[in-house]
């Protein structure tokens, strides 16, 4: 088998695609920032879904409303390549409501930190030390989440669905995207991060390429750390590291690298909340079986459980902003952030325990 | 035979890991329905010195692990 090859040649053969994907994702983030996306936010699944929630007026935070074409592109890229490679498969029915709730919690945690795991990696590449604190929390969350996995945690089987069930989500995204091009129909920020965006055609095309590569390589931030913890398998984490390398080089070239804690782009310095937010993200992502980026890719492959999870993310973003749980550059939100995080941990603990079937 | 069809990542490879830890079988057959699981199980099997054969049957995959 291919995995038997030892040495550097074997390493390259086993890992080239995930490393290439990581490098291209990192480069895409830098390019999209140069084209207008917010700094250290060339690609952020949580932020972009939050912006979409705002554009659809699910929340009314005026600075974060824009229908981000990147989300549409990632799903389309995954859908197209999985159809070509005959991996497109309409599937669903694996604890959909639990997944929706997990999606909400992951998003609430991500918006306390200010970024999904992908943006966390991009922030690290930009020199933002707060993101290293977030990484620590993310790792702790994943380690916690691997315990229920070891003891038989499951959200049960998904089953084959009709082609329409698998296509519904990508079709809906395309329709919404086309509608978003009609002036004044959706909300659109005139200031703040939501007003900063690359031209839609560039964002869409780059995201289609990235989505296709992510589908082929199975790149996943949560999976990277989880596989190291569970199987001592470093395959996915090479992609994670490749993103950091590409972003670091790109930021050095474009003079956007700034090392330190203070005054980082769209970030705050409250270490405890950066940590706790990402614990929630890590733990929730492990129970979901993948980070927010991976959920989009799976939704593109026809998985309606992941499509529901994405709507959980969008609902979570609306809750975060409507109840002032989301952080900003000024610090954490004015709402009951700590209590919501604690409630989130209690819910995750309950889901972890009650979905675990102890096996001999 | 482990039937891991319909289970999302990383359940299929965890089911294989559990079986290998429990009984260290000389051969193990696993049924999965996506290429991500095939990749994950192939990497895990290689780390445990199993050879892997994959047969595709109607969009599903029968994996045979042998030592």
A262 touching B, CB under 8 A?
no
> What is d(CA A127, CA B55) in angstroms, rounded to the nearest whole number?
46
Q: Which of A155, A157, A233 is nearest residue B43 as measured by Cβ atoms? A: A233
Rounded-to-integer distance, Cα A161 and Cα A158, Å: 9
Q: Is the pLDDT of residue B55 over 90?
A: yes
B20 touches chain A (CB under 8 A): no
The chain A residue lying nearest B22, using CA atoms, is A360
Smallest Cβ–Cβ distance between A158 and the set B8, B10, B18 belongs to B8
Residues A308 and A104: beta-carbon distance below 8 Å: no
pLDDT on residue A3: 47
Mean pLDDT computed over every residue of chain A = 96
Residue A357: the pLDDT is: 82
pLDDT at A218 over 70: yes
A2 band by pLDDT with thresholds 50, 70 and 90:
very low
Residue A208 has pLDDT above 80, yes or no: yes
Q: Minimal CA–CA distance to A228: which of A142, A124, A118? A: A142
Which of A263, A168, A189, A214 is closest to A70 using CA atoms? A214
Q: Do A231 and B39 touch (CB under 8 A)?
A: no
> Helices in A126-234 by DSSP H: which ranges?
129-150, 163-180, 200-217, 221-231
SS3 B3: strand
Q: What is the mean pLDDT of residues A257-266?
A: 95
**What pTM, to 2 d.p., does this model score?**
0.96
Q: What is the arithmetic mean of pLDDT over A20-28? A: 97
Tens of pLDDT, residue by residue over B26-52, are: 999 999 999 999 999 999 999 999 999
Contact B12, A149 (CB under 8 A): no
Q: How many residues appear in chain A?
A: 360
Please say if the pLDDT value at position A38 is more than 80: yes
A4 pLDDT tier (thresholds 50, 70, 90): low
- Residues 53-92 of chain A whose Cβ lies under 8 A from any Cβ of chain B: 86-87, 89, 91
CB contact under 8 A, A149 and B9: no
What is residue A1's predicted lDDT score, i.e. its pLDDT?
44
Q: Do B14 and A1 touch (CB under 8 A)?
A: no
Distance CA A18, CA A237 (A): 9
* Residue B5 touches partner A, C-beta closer than 8 Å: yes
Give the per-residue pLDDT at A86.
Answer: 94
Using CB atoms, pick whichever of A154, A159, A235 lies closest to residue B11: A154
Give the model's pLDDT for residue A358: 66
In the sheet that holds B60-66, the strands lie side by side as B2-3, B27-32, B60-66, B51-57
Q: Give the pLDDT confidence of A290-346 residue by residue, as tens digits.
A: 999 999 999 999 999 999 999 999 999 999 999 999 999 999 999 999 999 999 999
- Asked whether the predicted pLDDT for residue A137 surpasses 60, the reply is yes
Mutate to test the interface with B, among A90, A153, A218 (most CBs of B within 10 A): A218
Across A89-99, b (16+ Cβ under 10 Å) vs e yields bbbbebbbebb
Query: What value of ipTM does the predicted structure carry?
Result: 0.94
**Mean pLDDT computed over A173-178:** 98
Among candidates A12, A79, A47, which has minimal Cα distance to A297?
A: A79
For residue B59, the model assigns a pLDDT of 86
Q: Which domains does chain B have, with CATH numbers?
A: 2-66 (3.30.110.40)
Tokens of A310: 């994405």
A197 has a pLDDT exceeding 90: yes
Name every residue whose Cβ is closer than 8 Å to that of residue A192 and which is 6 or more positions away in sequence: A62, A63, A64
Please give, rounded to a whole number of angstroms, the shortest distance from the CA of A303 to a CA of chain B.
Answer: 10
CB contact set of A175 (below 8 Å; sequence gap of 6+): none
Show Cβ contacts of residue B51 under 8 Å, excluding neighbours closer than 6 positions: A1, B45, B65, B66, B67
Q: What is the mean pLDDT of residues A279-291?
A: 97
**Using CB atoms within 10 A of its CB, is residue A29 exposed (0-12), middle (13-18) or buried (19+)?**
buried
pLDDT at residue A250 greater than cutoff 80: yes
pLDDT at A182 over 90: yes
Give the pLDDT of residue B57. 92
């Amino acid at each position: 088998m291919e995995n038997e090859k030892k040495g550097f040649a074997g390493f390259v053969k086993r890992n080239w695609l995930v490393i290439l994907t990581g490098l291209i994702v990192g480069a895409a983030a830098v390019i999209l920032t140069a084209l207008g996306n917010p700094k250290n936010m060339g690609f952020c699944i949580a932020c972009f879904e939050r912006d979409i929630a705002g554009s659809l007026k699910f929340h009314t935070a005026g600075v974060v409303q824009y229908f981000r074409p990147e989300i549409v592109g990632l799903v389309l890229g995954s859908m197209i390549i999985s159809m070509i490679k005959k991996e497109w498969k309409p599937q669903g029915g694996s604890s959909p409501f639990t997944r929706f709730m997990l999606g909400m919690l992951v998003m609430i945690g991500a918006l306390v930190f200010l970024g999904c795991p992908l943006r966390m990696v991009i922030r690290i590449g930009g020199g933002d030390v707060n993101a290293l604190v977030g990484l620590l929390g993310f790792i702790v969350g994943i380690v916690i989440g691997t315990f229920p996995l070891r003891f038989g945690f499951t959200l049960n089987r998904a089953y084959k669905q009709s082609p329409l069930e698998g296509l519904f989500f990508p079709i809906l995204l395309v329709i919404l995207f086309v509608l978003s091009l009609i002036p004044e129909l959706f909300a659109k920020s005139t200031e703040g991060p939501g007003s900063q965006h690359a031209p839609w055609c560039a964002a869409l095309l780059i995201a289609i390429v990235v989505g296709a590569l992510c589908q082929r390589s199975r790149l996943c931030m949560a999976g990277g750390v989880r596989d190291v913890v569970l199987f001592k398998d470093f395959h996915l984490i090479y992609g994670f590291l490749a993103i950091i390398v590409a972003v670091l080089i790109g930021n050095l070239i474009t003079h956007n690298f700034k090392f330190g804690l203070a005054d980082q782009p769209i970030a705050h310095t409250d270490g405890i909340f950066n940590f706790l937010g990402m614990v929630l993200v890590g733990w929730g992502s492990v129970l979901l079986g993948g980070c927010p980026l991976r959920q989009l890719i799976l939704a593109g492959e026809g998985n309606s459980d992941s499509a529901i999870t994405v709507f959980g993310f969008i609902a979570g973003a609306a809750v975060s902003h409507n109840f002032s749980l989301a952080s900003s550059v000024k610090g954490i939100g004015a709402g009951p952030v700590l209590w919501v995080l604690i409630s989130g941990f209690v819910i995750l603990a309950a889901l972890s325990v009650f979905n675990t079937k102890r096996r001999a | 035979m482990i039937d891991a069809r319909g289970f999302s990542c990383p359940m299929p490879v965890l089911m294989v890991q559990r079986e290998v830890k429990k009984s260290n079988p000389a051969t193990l057959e696993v049924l999965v329905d996506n290429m991500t699981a095939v990749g994950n199980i192939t990497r895990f099997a290689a780390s445990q010195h199993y050879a892997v054969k994959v047969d595709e049957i109607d969009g599903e995959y029968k994996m045979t692990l042998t030592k």
